[in-house]
Each structure stands twice: as structure tokens, then as C-alpha cells.
Structure 1
């Protein structure tokens, strides 16, 4: 179940509901998780709100593109390892956590990369879901695994490799 809260009305014009449903479902189904069995809350906001959240939760008082708050720490202990599979709670639902995404930063990054906002948005939502599922990019081996998953999931959605620059990854 995807619950979306839109704080910044520009997200409505960007067709956030459709793109979020598609990207989040694609990421979950990649791991054989049924999207309707998983609980994800998405806050669609602007830079001011995400900077507040980034400051509060990460000690970084600046805007960022996407933040994630996993319901459970599923991270692999070994660098480049496989995270734990999320388990249903007593209701049978699988609570995964929360994601916040900032319009201003997403739009600025999409323009800088000369990519459609929709593609960048879907990339960042896949990225956020991977964080909820225990993937990270702090250690190099983990970043390699996470980026490869992003490229694979996005490729299935018809979106080019977001890490490719001038024809090379």
C-alpha cells in the first residue's frame, strides 16, 4: 500500500501518483514482493521541508533529493552482502518505511543531467525503496550492488542507466 502526502502542489503537475506507483512497484516486484502487501509512505515536498528533515535526521541542514526512513534495519553486515528480506507484521502487511522527495532539487538535477523529470523521479523513488529494503551506498561494495540494482530495475522500466555519462558508466 502506497500512501502519498503532497505538500508541494508542483508534484501534482508532475504526475507524481502514477510515477511513484510505477517505480515503487517495479522495485518491490524485483524482489518478489507484492506492492499491495507492502506499506510505503511518500512525502512529496519542496527543498525547504526536505532541508528541515535532513537537518533533523542527518545533521545536514541542506536540501537533498530524496530521504528514506526504513521501518527496520535490514542492512547486510558484510560489505556488498545481501540485506535481510522484510517480514510481514502481525497484520500480514510488510511495513517498509517512509520516503521524502524534494521537487526543487529533483527538477534542478534532471535539468542539469538533461533528463526528463519523470525519469529522474522514478530513479530516485527506486533508490529510496532500495534504502527501505536495506541497501546503501556508504561502503564502496554496497554502492556497487545498489547502483547495479537501480540500473537493472530502471532498465526494465525503459529508463536509461542514470550513471551513464557520455555513453559510458
Structure 2
């Protein structure tokens, strides 16, 4: 796997231990790179910011014109991250209250849901999106496969974890 430097910033105490969050992010990103067989020209740096609903609401309003909190936002640094010589991949930002509420409502473990959202955010940094049905299906298929490699069930609840191998 390509070397990654993941800068973890915990802005909301409810998230807990930064070392645990960094390990979770490393595991999710390593699984994504392995499943996707992704390699980069140079070592990569990204930030994972663990914040709250109030802070992410401001970002969502200012950058997406949606004045409400959301679970995860991604800010890629390049349109072509696999060939970008800067090694600056981007930022993944998660909001505690929304993530906690979603995990509780879906009866999924908090850790599994956070891992899913890190994978989701990482795919955005790689240029994947879900603006139309085809893109959404591709991104969902990749998420299911990556999470399956971590023995995490389909977050969408309607596929066996081995239905979508990426090979």
C-alpha cells in the first residue's frame, strides 16, 4: 500500500481517543486501496477531522449551499489524485451527532458506521461521486466491497457482503 500520513483532528470531545480514530481511518483507507488496487505516484497526506453538527453545518452551508448538518464531507485537493505530485489528497470531515444518530437508528455499531463514512469520504477524494444513478450505484458497489473486505455488513442492507467483488 502507498504510504499515508493521516492527520487526525478531533474538534468534538464526544469522538473519544484520537489514536483510536486514526487507527480506524488507517484501516478503512488501507482496505479501500487494497480492494481498489489503487496506487499513487507519491506518498499521500490527508486529514480526517472529527467535529460536530454545528461545525459541519457551516461547511455544508458555505460549500454546498445546504444549511443543515450532514454526516460526512470531503474536500479533494486535486481533480486527478492518482497522478498529483503534491501528495495532498484532501480532507474528510465527520459530524459526531449525525453519525451517532444514524448508527443508532440503523442498529449498526458506531465503529462500523464511522468506517463506512471514512470509506465513503475517501472515495470522494479519489474522484467518485453519486450525482446520478449510475455513479451512485458504482459508489455503493465499491463501498459494499471495501467494507466486506473488513467483515462489515452491507451498510445499505440489501446485498450479501460478497455480492460485489471489485476484481
Q: TM-score, normalised by structure 1?
A: 0.83
2:13 aligned with 1:17 = no
Q: What is the CA-CA distance between 1:25 and the residue it aligns to?
A: 1.9
Tell whether 2:139 aligns with 1:146: yes
Please name the residue that 2:85 is paired with. 89
User: Cα distance, 1:5 vs. partner?
Assistant: 0.8
**2:76–2:90 CA contact under 8 A, matched in 1:** yes
Distance 1:24 1:111 in 2: 24
Structure 2: which 5+ runs fail to align?
A: none
Aligned to 2:38: 32
CA shift, 1:17, in A, is 2.0
Count residues with an aligned counterpart: 154
Question: Residues 29, 165 of structure 1: CA spacing in aligned structure 2 closer, same or farther, 3 A cutoff?
Answer: closer
Look up the match of 2:48.
42
Do the aligned residues in 1 keep the contact of 2:39 with 2:82 (CA within 8 Å)? no
Stretch deviating more after TM superposition (7-16 or 112-121): 7-16
Given that residues 86 and 96 in structure 1 are in contact (C-alpha distance below 8 angstroms), is that contact kept between their aligned partners in structure 2?
Answer: no
Q: Which residue is 1:120 aligned to?
A: 113
**1:3 partnered with 2:7:** yes
Give CA deviations for 1:15-69 in whole Å, capped at 9, x if unaligned. Answer: 32221111122112333337x9221111110100000110111111100000001
What are the Cα deviations for residues 113-168 of structure 1, in whole angstroms up to 9, with x where unaligned? 0000000000000000000001001111111111000000000001001111598x
Which of 98, 102, 106 lines up with 2:99 in the alignment?
106
Unpaired runs of at least 5, structure 1: 75-84
Q: Match for residue 80 of structure 1?
A: none
Say if 2:73 and 2:92, in contact at 8 Å, map to a contact too: yes
Question: RMSD value over aligned CA atoms?
Answer: 2.1
2:63 counterpart of 1:57: yes
CA distance in structure 1 between the aligned counterparts of 2:62 and 2:84, rounded to whole angstroms: 29
TM-score by length of 2: 0.84
Equivalents in 2 of 1:7, 1:27: separation in Å? 25
Provide closer, same or farther for how the CA distance between residues 166 and 129 of structure 1 changes in structure 2, counting only shifts above 3 A.
closer
